[in-house]
Amino acid sequence: MRNKFCVYFGLGVALVTFSGVTFAHHGSQVSYNLGKMVTMEGTVTEYQWRNPHVYILYDVKDDKGNVVTWGAETHSPIVCANEDGWTKSTLKPGDKITISVFPSNINSPRGLLAKIVFNGKVIIDDTGRGAQIGR
């Protein structure tokens, strides 16, 4: 009886532990305002092609002319490659982009990537993510 209890207790702890990580990681509506999109012109400072998400850092000027470094996360590299045709060299520091993000809910300069225009071409358009609210 004691061994059975230990097994069930261990499974319960594992379930709670791993389900918390899953919900925390995939909580876009918790982390980002999917009802609002912000569009900026900026310069790529870093392009991180790695799991779990591709991450882009870019500089923009605020209303007062100060440079602010923003960050945008998107899909995993495999999804970016298969669905958007991206590679690890799609963007590089110094590239000028027009980028739209769903901004952070805590008012930090971070966002969930919605769209990028580079060299006059849309290279990703995930603006439909905002339509997922309420589903």
Contact 57, 99 (CB under 8 A): no
What is this structure's pTM?
A: 0.76
- Rounded to 5 degrees, φ, ψ at 104 are -60, 145
Residue with tokens 């002319």: 65
Q: How far apart are CA 79 and CA 53, in angstroms?
A: 9
For the chain, 135 residues long, give each residue's pLDDT as a single digit of tens: 666 654 555 554 544 444 444 444 455 668 999 999 999 999 999 999 999 999 999 999 999 999 999 999 999 999 999 999 999 999 999 999 999 999 999 989 999 999 999 999 999 999 987 765 543
Question: What pLDDT was estimated at residue 131?
Answer: 63
Question: What pLDDT was estimated at residue 129?
Answer: 77
